[in-house]
Amino acid sequence: MTRLALLRFAAMGAAVALAIAAGPAVRAADTAGSQPLVIAGQVASTCQMSPATQGPGNLNVAFSAAGGGASQLAVNLMVDPSTARTQSVVGVVQFQVLCTGAHTLKVTSASGGLVNTTTTTTAGGFSTRADYSLQAAWAGASRSLTTSGSAASLDLSGADSASGALTVTVTVPSGEGPLVAGAYQDVISIDLSAN
């Protein structure tokens, strides 16, 4: 019995040895493990604009906030009482603007001038429109145009983030006209959107 038992041990030992020889090499120790994580977030381009405030350098004009984002520049004395020609007017309005990325900004004159809303009748060399210079400055850029009777826009769009004051200046030169009596008006709109 003992001899048989020894043979069995011997046989098992051989089997183990064969198994080790036939199997893969003992795997090297894995002494390190690592897991990378990517943390990511997006910030969309966004724009904010404050209500209008009166800017510096106004002449012959009164600023008022009309509420709901609207404001008004009312000319004090539009024409020279002796010639019916325009008096000099400078109206400056500012908006605090912040855009976190690319954005579109347009300043548009709807009527292309100060247009008589009372009458369209012109006679004797009198005019129903007073053209003016529209200037806008924003984020280091400045654009301007002179109205000529049709809607016109200034494009101050930007490809990057920007913040600060958007300054819109309306300048009516002296001597235009003579003008037909009545109320004159234009609407300047500021369109700001994030791209």
Partner 1 sequence: MNRLAWTSLGLSLSFAAGAAAAQQAAPPTVSVSGQAARLCRIGAPKVQVGSAVNLGAVDGQTINISSLADSATLSTKAISFDIDFDALCNFSHAVQLSSDRGGLWRVATGAASSATFADGVPYHATLVWAGTQSTLEASAASVAPKTQVLDVNSPAGGALVVQFRVDSGATDKGAGVPLAAGTYQDTLTVTLGPQ
Q: Which residues bind partner 1 (CB under 8 A)?
A: 1-3, 5-6, 9-10, 13, 16, 19-20, 26-46, 48, 98, 100-102, 159-164, 194
Distant-in-sequence, close-in-space partners of 102: CB < 8 Å, separation ≥ 6: 45, 157, 158, 159, 160, 194, 195
Minimum CB separation from partner 1 for residue 32, in Å?
Answer: 3
Write down the least CB distance from residue 159 to partner 1, Å. 7
| Residue with smaller CB distance to partner 1, 3 or 82 | 3
Closest to partner 1 by CB, 43 vs 123, is 43
Comparison of 96 and 146: residue with beta carbon closer to partner 1: 96
Q: Which is nearer to partner 1, 46 or 50 (CB)?
A: 46
What's the first-to-final CA gap in the chain, in angstroms?
Answer: 92
Report, in Å, the least distance between residue 18 CB and partner 1. 12
**Residue 16 burial (CB count, 10 A):** 10
CA–CA gap between residue 54 and residue 111 (Å, rounded):
22
